[in-house]
C-alpha cells in the first residue's frame, strides 16, 4: 500500500508540484487505486491550486464531489490502460487532464492526474456547454467566466515540459515507495540480527557464546562442508549436528548417527562400510553400511576420537575419494555423504600423542565448532531450567513448577561437569521428587549441587587442604558436610542422619564434637 500522505510530504514531490503549479498552472491530483483523491489539502484549502480551473472546481462543495466522481469513473479505464501517460478530456469537456499511472511490481497503485489547458482554442460552444454543466450542477456562471478568462493555455513546448514533470512525479512516487520498502525490510533484518536469540532450533541459550554459535550456524546453513563439533560431555553436540543437517540442503534426506565408541574395530568397519556375503562368519548375505544408507544425506560420526587408527585411514579415504569398499568386497562404491563428526576429546593432543591422524583431523575440521561448557555460560541457567521444567511438567501432565530462588543460586555456584544433560537430569529428578508441590523446595536439590562440588570434582573447591594428614582432612570434610546439612534441613537431625547414612545419635555426637550448636551458631551469624 502506498502512503500517499508521506509521498506528498517528500521534498522532491513538493518541489515538482510547486514548479508545475507556478510555471505552468498545472495542478496535481493524487488518485489511489480505487479512484479516491488523496491530496492532503483537498478538503481544506484551495490556495495550493494554481490553475484557475481547478480552483474553480474546488471552490464549491458540488465541484469537489463532481471531481471525486470523475476520478472514480476514470479508474477502470486507467488501471487497464497500458501506457504510462494519457491525455483525456477533463470533466468540463474541454480541458486537458494528464494521467501518469503508478505501477509497482506490475500492480496498479494509482494515478497522478494533472489538470491544465493544452493549446486549444476552446471553441465557444464547448465553453458554452461547460458553463451550462457548471450552472446545472449549482455553480455560478460569472465566477466560471472569470476562471476561464484567467486560464493559462500551454503552448507546445510548455506542454512537453509539464508532461515530463508529471511523469517524473509518478516515477518519484515509485522510487519513494520502493526505497521505503527496502529500508523497512533492512530495518527488520537488522532488528532480527540485533535481537538476542533465545533459541536456535531446539537449542536454548541467549549467552554470548551461544549467540556466536548461532551466527556461525547461520553462515554454514547452506554449506556442504565437513563439520567437527568439539565439546565436553552433555554440551549438546548431537543436538547441534541435527540442527546443522536440518538446516542444510540435505534436510530431506537421511540423518544417520554412528557412535564410534560403541563398536569394536571390526564391527565398526562393517557397520560403516557394509560387507559382502561370506566376508566373515555370520555374514550370510550382502549388507549395506551406514555410509550407503546416508547417501545424499548426513552421517554423524559421534565420538570420532575413539576410532582406531586403521578405521581412521578408511574414513579418510571415503572423505577424500567419495568411494568405499565393503568388508570382504573388491569393487568400489560411490557415495555422496556429508560427514559431521563430534568428540569430547582433545584431538590436538591426541595428534601429538600419535593416536589421531593429523591428515584426518584437517580433513574433518573444515568447519570447527567448539561448544561452551555450561559453567562458561551460566547466564543461560535460568532459561534452561525453565525450559526443562516446562518440558518435564508437560510430559508428565503436571502444572508448571518453579524452582526456589535459593536452588537457582546453588545452580549458579555448581560447576556442572555433566553440562546440559546433568542439568536436565537434575530438573527431571526434582519434578518427580516434588510431587504435587508447585515450588520445588531447596532441600530436594542433589547433595553435590548444594555443596557446590561435582562428585568427581576436586575437594579444593570445598576449601579443603589436599596436603597434610588424611585424618584431619576427613574430619574437616565431615564437619563441613554436617554443617551444610544442618543449615539446609533447618536442623532436622532425623532427616539429615538418614541422608548421611548414620544414626541420629551418631550425628548428635559428631555435632557436639565439632561444636555445631544451633543457638550458638545463630548468635554467631547475627554477630557477623
Ligand atoms: N542448548 C541446549 N538447549 C536445550 N537442550 C540442550 C541443549 N544442549 C543440549 N541439550 C540437551 O542435553 C542433552 C545432551 O545433549 P547432547 O546429547 O546433544 O550432548 P552431547 O554433547 O552429544 O553429549 P555426550 O558428549 O554425552 O554425547 C540432550 O537431551 C539435549 O537435548
Ligand atoms: Mg553425544
Place of cell 501517460: 85
Which residue has the CA at smallest separation from atom 13 of ligand 1? 421
Q: Is residue 238 part of a domain?
A: yes
141 and 258 part of one domain: no
Specify whether the CB–CB gap between 153 and 119 falls below 8 A: yes
Q: Quick check: CB of 239 below 6 Å from ligand 1?
A: yes
41 and 129 part of one domain: yes
Specify whether the CB–CB gap between 395 and 427 falls below 8 A: no
Q: Quick check: CB of 91 below 6 Å from ligand 1?
A: no
**Of 204, 212, 234, 342, which is best to mutate to test ligand 1, by the most ligand atoms within 8 angstroms of its C-beta?**
234
- Single out the residue in 344, 372, 400 at which a domain terminates: 372
Q: Is residue 380 part of a domain?
A: no
In tens digits, what is the pLDDT along the chain, a chain of 528 residues?
A: 788 988 998 899 999 988 888 888 888 889 998 888 888 876 555 555 555 555 555 555 446 677 788 888 888 888 887 665 666 777 667 777 888 989 888 888 999 988 777 655 556 777 787 778 777 777 777 777 776 776 677 888 888 888 889 999 999 999 988 888 888 877 777 666 555 677 788 899 999 999 999 989 988 888 889 999 999 999 999 999 999 999 999 999 999 999 998 888 888 999 999 999 988 888 889 999 999 999 999 999 999 999 999 999 999 999 999 999 999 988 899 999 999 999 999 999 999 999 999 999 999 988 999 999 999 999 999 999 999 999 999 999 999 999 999 999 999 999 999 999 999 999 999 999 999 899 999 999 999 899 887 654 445 445 555 555 677 778 888 888 898 888 888 888 988 888 888 888 889 888 888 888 877 777 766 665
Q: Say how many domains are in the chain.
A: 3
169 and 214 part of one domain: no
Please give the span between the terminal C-alpha atoms of the chain, in angstroms, as a whole number. Answer: 69
Q: Is residue 444 part of a domain?
A: no
Give strand pairing partners of 228: 341, 368
Kindly report the CATH number assigned to the domain that includes residue 66. Answer: 3.30.450
170 and 229 part of one domain: no
Q: Quick check: CB of 295 below 6 Å from ligand 1?
A: no
- Single out the residue in 181, 212, 244 at which a domain terminates: 181
Q: Quick check: CB of 235 below 6 Å from ligand 1?
A: yes
Q: DSSP 3-state helix, strand, coil percentages of the chain (rounded to 5)?
A: 55, 15, 35
Specify whether the CB–CB gap between 266 and 280 falls below 8 A: yes
118 and 257 part of one domain: no
In terms of residue numbers, what domain contains 310?
Answer: 203-372
Task: Select from 249, 336, 252 the least CA-distant residue to 299.
Answer: 336
Which residue has the CA at smallest separation from atom 23 of ligand 1? 234
Q: Is residue 164 part of a domain?
A: yes
73 and 154 part of one domain: yes
15 and 96 part of one domain: yes
What b-and-e string marks burial along 77-93, b requiring 16 or more CB atoms within 10 Å of the CB? ebbebeeebbebebbbe
Report the separation in Å between the CA atom of 307 and the middle of ligand 2, taken as the mean of its atom positions.
15
Report the separation in Å between the CA atom of 93 and the middle of ligand 1, taken as the mean of its atom positions.
79
Report the separation in Å between the CA atom of 304 and the middle of ligand 2, taken as the mean of its atom positions.
11
Kindly report the CATH number assigned to the domain that includes residue 515. Answer: 1.10.10.60
163 and 226 part of one domain: no
Angle between helices 11-24 and 156-194 (to 10 degrees): 170
Task: Select from 213, 236, 232 the least CA-distant residue to 346.
Answer: 232
Q: Quick check: CB of 386 below 6 Å from ligand 1?
A: no
Q: Is residue 169 part of a domain?
A: yes
Task: Select from 29, 142, 163 the least CA-distant residue to 85.
Answer: 163
Kindly report the CATH number assigned to the domain that includes residue 286. Answer: 3.40.50.300
211 and 161 part of one domain: no
- Single out the residue in 115, 148, 181 at which a domain terminates: 181
Q: Is residue 433 part of a domain?
A: no
176 and 220 part of one domain: no
Report the separation in Å between the CA atom of 424 and the middle of ligand 1, taken as the mean of its atom positions.
9
Distance CA 188, CA 264 (A): 52
Distance CA 295, CA 274 (A): 13
Distance CA 313, CA 372 (A): 30
Q: Is residue 20 part of a domain?
A: yes
Distance CA 330, CA 324 (A): 10
273 and 311 part of one domain: yes
Task: Select from 94, 99, 79 the least CA-distant residue to 126.
Answer: 94
Sheet with 255-259, strands from edge to edge, namely 255-259, 298-302, 338-343, 227-230, 367-370
- 3-class secondary-structure state, position 242: helix
Q: Is residue 489 part of a domain?
A: yes
73 and 158 part of one domain: yes
pTM equals: 0.56
Amino acid at each position: 500500500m502506498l502512503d500517499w500522505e508521506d509521498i506528498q510530504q517528500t521534498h522532491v514531490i513538493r518541489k515538482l508540484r510547486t514548479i508545475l503549479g507556478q510555471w505552468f498552472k498545472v495542478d496535481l491530483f493524487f488518485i489511489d487505486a480505487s479512484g479516491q483523491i488523496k491530496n492532503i489539502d483537498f478538503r481544506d484549502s484551495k490556495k495550493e491550486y494554481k490553475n484557475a480551473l481547478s480552483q474553480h472546481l474546488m471552490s464549491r462543495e458540488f465541484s469537489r464531489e463532481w471531481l471525486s466522481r470523475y476520478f472514480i469513473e476514470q479508474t477502470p479505464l486507467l488501471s487497464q490502460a497500458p501506457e504510462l501517460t494519457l491525455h483525456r478530456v477533463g470533466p468540463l469537456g474541454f480541458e486537458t487532464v494528464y494521467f501518469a499511472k503508478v505501477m509497482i511490481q506490475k500492480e496498479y497503485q494509482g494515478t497522478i492526474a494533472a489538470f491544465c489547458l493544452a493549446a486549444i482554442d476552446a471553441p465557444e460552444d464547448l465553453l458554452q456547454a461547460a458553463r451550462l454543466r457548471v450552472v446545472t450542477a449549482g455553480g455560478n456562471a460569472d465566477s466560471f467566466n472569470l476562471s476561464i478568462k484567467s486560464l493559462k493555455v500551454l503552448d507546445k513546448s510548455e506542454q512537453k515540459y509539464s508532461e515530463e514533470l508529471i511523469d517524473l512525479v509518478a516515477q518519484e512516487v515509485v522510487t519513494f515507495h520502493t526505497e521505503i520498502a527496502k529500508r523497512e525490510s533492512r530495518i527488520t533484518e537488522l532488528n532480527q540480527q540485533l535481537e538476542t536469540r533465545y533459541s536456535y532450533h531446539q537449542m536454548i541459550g541467549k549467552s554470548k557464546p551461544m549467540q556466536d554459535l548461532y551466527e556461525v550456524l547461520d553462515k554454514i546453513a547452506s554449506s556442504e562442508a565437513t563439520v567437527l563439533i568439539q565439546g565436553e560431555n552433555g554440551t549438546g553436540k548431537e543436538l547441534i549436528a541435527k540442527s546443522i543437517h536440518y538446516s542444510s540442503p540435505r534436510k530431506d534426506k537421511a540423518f544417520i548417527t554412528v557412535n564410534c565408541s560403541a563398536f569394536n574395530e571390526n564391527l565398526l568397519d562393517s557397520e560403516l562400510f557394509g560387507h559382502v556375503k561370506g566376508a566373515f562368519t555370520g555374514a550370510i548375505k550382502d549388507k549395506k553400511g551406514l555410509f550407503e544408507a546416508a547417501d545424499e544425506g548426513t552421517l554423524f560420526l559421534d565420538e570420532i576420537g575413539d576410532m582406531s587408527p586403521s578405521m581412521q585411514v578408511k574414513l579418510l579415504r571415503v572423505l577424500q575419494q567419495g568411494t568405499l569398499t565393503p568388508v570382504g568386497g573388491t569393487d568400489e562404491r560411490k557415495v555422496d555423504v556429508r560427514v559431521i563428526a563430534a568428540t569430547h576429546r582433545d584431538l590436538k593432543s591426541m595428534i601429538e600423542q600419535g593416536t589421531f591422524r593429523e591428515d584426518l583431523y584437517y580433513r574433518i575440521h573444515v568447519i570447527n565448532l567448539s561448544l561452551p561448557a555450561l559453567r562458561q555460560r551460566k547466564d543461560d541457567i535460568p532459561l534452561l531450567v525453565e525450559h526443562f521444567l516446562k518440558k518435564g511438567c508437560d510430559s508428565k501432565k503436571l502444572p508448571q513448577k518453579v524452582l526456589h530462588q535459593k536452588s537457582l543460586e546453588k545452580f549458579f555456584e555448581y560447576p556442572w561437569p555433566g553440562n546440559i544433560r546433568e542439568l536436565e537430569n537434575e530438573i527431571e529428578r526434582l519434578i518427580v521428587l516434588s510431587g504435587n508441590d508447585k515450588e520445588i523446595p531447596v532441600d530436594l536439590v542433589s547433595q553435590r549441587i548444594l555443596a557446590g562440588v561435582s562428585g568427581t570434582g576436586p575437594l579444593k573447591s570445598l576449601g579443603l587442604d589436599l596436603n597434610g594428614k588424611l585424618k584431619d582432612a576427613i574430619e574437616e570434610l565431615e564437619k563441613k558436610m554436617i554443617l551444610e546439612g544442618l543449615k539446609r534441613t533447618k536442623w532436622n537431625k532425623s532427616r539429615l542422619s538418614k541422608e548421611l547414612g548414620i544414626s541420629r545419635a551418631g550425628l548428635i555426637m559428631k555435632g557436639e564434637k565439632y561444636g555445631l550448636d544451633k543457638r550458638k551458631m545463630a548468635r554467631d551469624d547475627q554477630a557477623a
